Amino acid sequence: MQTFDLGKEGLRALNSSLHALKGQTNMTAWEVINPKGAHAIAAGVDAPVDITVRGSTGYYCAGMNKQATIRIKGSAGPGVAENMMSGTVIIDGNASQYAGATGRGGLLVIKGNASSRCGVSMKGIDIVVHGSIGHMSAFMAQSGNLVVLGDAGDALGDSLYEARLFVRGSVKSLGADCIQKEMRPEHLALLADLLKRGEAADKARPEEFKRYGSARKLYNFNIDNASSY
């Protein structure tokens, strides 16, 4: 275990050390102490390592993550796991705005609540939220899966493309071109796997969720749908 005191050694030294771990490495376990809400902790990691941050983080923690498993033992500020490519990010607390934004792969698990625009413009990432999410979540989401065990705020899935949204609780309102869809057997199987990977299999059953997706009316401009653009 490599223990790094962020309060003493500084963010630049931490990220430089993590960026130096290219490909295979025997320095596979890292612990970051005294994060004190610092921004961009463990951003741009590209190595199969396990990083535990013992405390809450600021903006863009675990941004652009590739391969790494990053565990935040606290809450995360805006943009956590932004543009993540692969790997896993697990947050024990809450997440602020646009968690998982533009994520292209990997798994983001939020064990508390997520604020507005969770999964905005997601492009392949899987997001599992144990609590609820705020307004405009999955705005312009293109692909991937968003699973919410709690409730969703206003304008869920506004201008959605082909991402799949699963919500167990209530949805305050659906955004433009987002509709409820049939939950077929393949979706139940997919959701069961996501709940297991998201450490939520003991909290909810796939049958308790509703599925939402794109009505596909905004793919091309149509004058009859002008008011929806």
* 24 or 36, higher pLDDT: 36
Nearest CA among 22, 29, 23, 10 for reference residue 69: 29
The rounded percent of the chain whose pLDDT value lies above 90 is 90
Q: 228 by DSSP, 3-state: which?
A: helix
Which long-range contacts (C-beta less than 8 Å, at least 24 apart) are formed by 197-206? 197/107, 197/126, 197/128, 198/107, 198/109, 198/126, 198/128, 198/130, 198/147, 199/90, 199/109, 199/111, 199/128, 200/109, 200/128, 200/130, 200/147, 200/149, 203/130, 203/149, 204/149, 204/168
Nearest CA among 174, 168, 183 for reference residue 215: 174
Nearest CA among 166, 107, 33 for reference residue 99: 107
The rounded percent of the chain whose pLDDT value lies above 70 is 97
Q: What is the mean pLDDT of residues 189-211?
A: 98
**Could you tell me if 124 and 101 are in contact, meaning their C-beta atoms sit under 8 angstroms apart?**
no
Say whether pLDDT at 220 is over 80: no
Q: What is the mean pLDDT of residues 126-148?
A: 98
Amino acid 22: pLDDT:
75
Q: What is the mean pLDDT of residues 199-205?
A: 98
Q: What is the mean pLDDT of residues 155-181?
A: 97
Q: CA torsion sign, 174 to 85 to 83 to 106?
A: positive
Say whether pLDDT at 229 is over 70: no
Amino acid 218: pLDDT:
79
Distance from C-alpha of 97 to C-alpha of 83, rounded to nearest angstrom: 14
- Beta strands in the chain, from DSSP E residues, in sequence order: 2-5, 29-33, 50-54, 69-72, 88-91, 107-110, 123-129, 143-148, 164-167, 178-181, 210-214
Domains in the chain: boundaries: 2-228
Under the banding of pLDDT at 50, 70 and 90, the label for residue 155 is very high
Tell me the pLDDT tens digit for each residue of 71-112.
999 999 999 999 999 999 999 999 999 999 999 999 999 999
**Could you tell me if 21 and 27 are in contact, meaning their C-beta atoms sit under 8 angstroms apart?**
yes
Under the banding of pLDDT at 50, 70 and 90, the label for residue 222 is confident
Say whether pLDDT at 33 is over 70: yes
Say whether pLDDT at 197 is over 60: yes
Indicate the average pLDDT of the chain.
Answer: 95
Longest dimension (CA), the chain: 61
CATH architecture of 2-228: 3 Solenoid (2.160)
Distance from C-alpha of 21 to C-alpha of 4, rounded to nearest angstrom: 15
Alpha-helix residue ranges (DSSP H) falling in 39-137:
none
Amino acid 224: pLDDT:
74
Amino acid 98: pLDDT:
98
Say whether pLDDT at 225 is over 70: no
